[in-house]
Structure 1
Amino acid sequence: MATHATTKTIVHTEDAVPPLPVFSQATVANGIVYCSGSIGCDHQLNVVPGGVSPQTTCALENLSKVLAAAGSGLEHILKVNVYLANMPRDFATMNEAYIKFFPGPLPARTCVGVAALPMGADVEIECTAILPGSSH
């Protein structure tokens, strides 16, 4: 379900993890989908156990559902930002889980080490995608 506000569309889907009350799952403007960061957690907002690999998988699955609700998909991602709470320990493992979602040409990406993430998560992923058929 999408709600219009001025020149942007707010994206919300029950299929993905619910957002906290301080942000939307995504916004769409001028044919571009801006997804909020997603950590690997379930619908009850519990971080999935097992470390960065299952959390990366879960975060990307959630982003895929948000993109689908917006009318886009992982194959239309332009840019990804990945935040890791422990870069030295988790970078290679995160990449192994991440690459499974992008069999074709890879989107641009930045990976940043951070001091901490919400709810003690190991990884948070956000992305920007284009709507198929958009002139942008």
Structure 2
Amino acid sequence: MTASKKVVSVANALAPLPVFSQAVISNGFIYVSGNIGCDKNSKLVEGGVEAETRAALENIIKVLEGAGTKLANAVKINVYLVDFDRDFANMNEVYKEFFGTENLPARTCVGVAKLPFNANVEIECIAAVPQ
């Protein structure tokens, strides 16, 4: 099997830093880089972990849709929280707004020491890309 790799760049999604891609498609899956809750001007949104979670997931949706897939095709989500004890439940409430409670992707959620821009949460996604 020959590996494939296609870099994804979606104009209406949050621009990545110059050291990584928004996402990469390889062998039928899209690997979306970690997203923090920034607005279209790359400023961290106000409102704590709930607002940041919503903004991060909305940006992931833009990347997925720009690549021809959708959040419902997510197979793995990784969530990173700076204050796990304080923010886990609130992040999950917003997460459920996007994913519901059935046919959920696999997920890892871990506590970390620090995130870019002093964000409270960062989310990355792996999703299937239909042929």
The alignment's TM-score, normalised by the length of structure 1, stands at 0.91
SS in 1 for 2:75: strand
Identity across the alignment (%): 55
Tell me what 2:71 maps to. 74
SS in 2 for 1:52: helix
Residue pairs, 1:37-76, within 5 angstroms: 37-76=34-73
SS in 1 for 2:91: helix
Tell me what 2:30 maps to. 33
Which one-letter code corresponds to 1:117 in the other structure? L
CA distance in 2: counterparts of 1:105 and 1:52, whole angstroms: 24
CA distance in 1: counterparts of 2:121 and 2:86, whole angstroms: 12
Which one-letter code corresponds to 2:97 in the other structure? K
Cα offset, 1:70, TM superposition: 1.1
Tell me what 2:114 maps to. 116
Q: Which moved more, 1:98-107 or 1:87-96?
A: 98-107
Which one-letter code corresponds to 2:118 in the other structure? G
The answer for unaligned runs of 5 or more in structure 2 is none
SS in 2 for 1:119: helix
Cα offset, 1:105, TM superposition: 1.1
Q: In the alignment, which of 122, 127, 130 is matched to residue 129 of structure 1?
A: 127
The alignment's TM-score, normalised by the length of structure 2, stands at 0.94
SS in 2 for 1:56: helix
Tell me what 1:3 maps to. none
Where does structure 1 differ by over 3 angstroms across 4 or more consecutive aligned residues? none
CA distance in 2: counterparts of 1:73 and 1:15, whole angstroms: 15
**Number of equivalenced pairs:** 128
CA distance in 2: counterparts of 1:7 and 1:129, whole angstroms: 16
Q: In the alignment, which of 90, 94, 106 is matched to residue 93 of structure 1?
A: 90
Cα offset, 1:42, TM superposition: 1.1
